[in-house]
Chains A and B, each alone.
Chain A
Amino acid sequence: MFSAKAVYGNSARLRDGKVQTMHSIWHRANSSLTFFGTVAAVLCLLTTGTDFFHESNPSVSLKLHDVRRLVQHHGSKEHAVVTFDLDADLRDVFSWNTKQLFAFVQAEYETPENRINQVVLWDSIIQQKPPRPPPPPLLRRGDKAYIRLNAHKTKYAFIEPGRYLRNREVNLTLVWCVMPRVGAMYTQQRVLPAGKLP
Chain B
Amino acid sequence: MEAIRDAMESVKDMYRDLRRMNVRQMMSQGVQLGKRQEAALERNRLIVTSALMIWKSLMLVTGSESPVVVVLSGSMEPGFYRGDILFLNMGKAPIRTGEIVVFNLDGRDIPIVHRVIKVHERTNGTHIDILTKGDNNYGDDRALYNKGQEWLHQQHIMGRAVGFLPKVGMVTILMNDYPYLKYALISVLGLL
| A binding-site residues for B, Cβ under 8 Å | 2-5, 7-8, 19, 26, 30, 44, 48, 99-100, 102, 104, 106, 112-120, 123, 125, 127, 156, 161, 175, 177, 179-185, 187
27 contacts between A and B (CB under 8 A): A4-B6, A4-B9, A19-B36, A44-B165, A102-B98, A113-B122, A114-B120, A114-B122, A115-B125, A116-B119, A116-B121, A117-B120, A117-B121, A118-B97, A118-B120, A119-B117, A120-B98, A123-B135, A125-B79, A125-B135, A156-B117, A156-B140, A161-B120, A177-B98, A177-B100, A185-B162, A187-B98
**Residues from chain B with Cβ under 8 Å of A19 in the complex:** 32, 36
**Residues from chain A with Cβ under 8 Å of B96 in the complex:** 116, 118
Q: Mark B67-101, 1 if CB is under 8 A from A, else 0.
A: 00000000000110000000000000010111110
Cβ-based interface call for B115 (8 A):
yes
* A3 & B79 in contact (Cβ 8 Å cutoff): no
| Beta-carbon contacts under 8 Å, B1-23 to A | 2-3, 6-7, 9-10
Cβ-based interface call for B163 (8 A):
yes
Cβ-based interface call for B187 (8 A):
no
| B binding-site residues for A, Cβ under 8 Å | 2-3, 6-7, 9-10, 32, 36, 78-79, 94, 96-100, 115, 117-123, 125, 129, 135, 140, 161-166, 191-192
Question: Of the candidates A120, A127, A179, which one forms a contact with B164 in the assembled complex, judged by CB atoms under 8 Å apart?
Answer: A179
* B78 & A127 in contact (Cβ 8 Å cutoff): yes
* B98 & A104 in contact (Cβ 8 Å cutoff): yes
Shortest Cβ distance from residue B92 to the other chain A in the assembled complex, whole angstroms? 15
- Contact A114 to B135, CB < 8 A, known contacts A100-B79, A125-B79, A127-B78: no
* A182 & B118 in contact (Cβ 8 Å cutoff): no
**Residues from chain A with Cβ under 8 Å of B94 in the complex:** 116
Shortest Cβ distance from residue B101 to the other chain A in the assembled complex, whole angstroms? 12
**Residues from chain B with Cβ under 8 Å of A127 in the complex:** 78
A118 to B122: give the CA distance in the assembly, Å: 12
- Contact A115 to B164, CB < 8 A, known contacts A106-B97, A125-B135: no
Question: Of the candidates B120, B162, B166, B191, which one forms a contact with A182 in the assembled complex, judged by CB atoms under 8 Å apart?
Answer: B166
Shortest Cβ distance from residue B191 to the other chain A in the assembled complex, whole angstroms? 8
* B3 & A2 in contact (Cβ 8 Å cutoff): yes
